[in-house]
Amino acid sequence: MKNNNRLSILSVALIAVISGCTSAPEKPLEQAAAEPAPFVSDYPTRDRVEYVLNCVAQHGGLTYITQYACGCKVDKIAEKLKFSEYEAAKTFTYLRSTPGDNGGVFRDPAQSKDLRKRLKEAEEYAEKSCFVK
């Protein structure tokens, strides 16, 4: 029984040493700070899914290619616009066709024109980057 306990303790110690040796060494603080931070999108999942579903519908239906390309497209747009900018640009785009003075609030301000232009440019960039022609 004593040999079994020693064998168990030795096995556990050996596993601990081996797993400690195989883990990646920590990077020095200076090197970790010098590396660029990974891209993190602030787009909510619900909005990403909605975008992908609308994009898939516009590009002929659900296939692996359209699903992948539309997922890519929303990522590329997220690189160019923060979610708050994207959301405002989509609102201006949807409501600019409101007739009369009520629509002028969405059509005429410089912010509306700028955001709609930036959204269009981001969508063109995404379309070129993600869809194989």
Give the pLDDT of residue 35: 63
d(CA 28, CA 110): 47
Percent of all residues in the chain with a pLDDT value above 70, rounded to a whole number: 68
Query: Could you tell me the two tokens for 14?
Result: 């050996």
pLDDT beyond 70 at 6: no
Among 4-18, 100-114, 117-131, top mean pLDDT goes to: 117-131
d(CA 48, CA 67): 12
Give the pLDDT of residue 66: 92
With vertex at residue 55, the alpha carbon angle to CA 53 and CA 61, rounded to the nearest 5 degrees, is 75
pLDDT beyond 50 at 20: no
Which pLDDT tens digit goes with each residue over 49-90?
Answer: 999 999 999 999 999 999 999 999 999 999 999 999 999 999
Query: Could you tell me the two tokens for 107?
Result: 């059509």
Of the CA atoms within 13 Å of residue 22, those in its CB half-sphere come to 6
Amino acid in the structure at residue 40? V
Query: Could you tell me the two tokens for 128?
Result: 């070129």
d(CA 76, CA 122): 7
Give the pLDDT of residue 22: 45
pTM beyond 0.75, yes or no: no
Least confident of 1-10, 25-34, 107-116, 119-128: 1-10
Cβ distance 24 to 42 under 8 Å? Answer: no
Residue with tokens 């699903």: 67
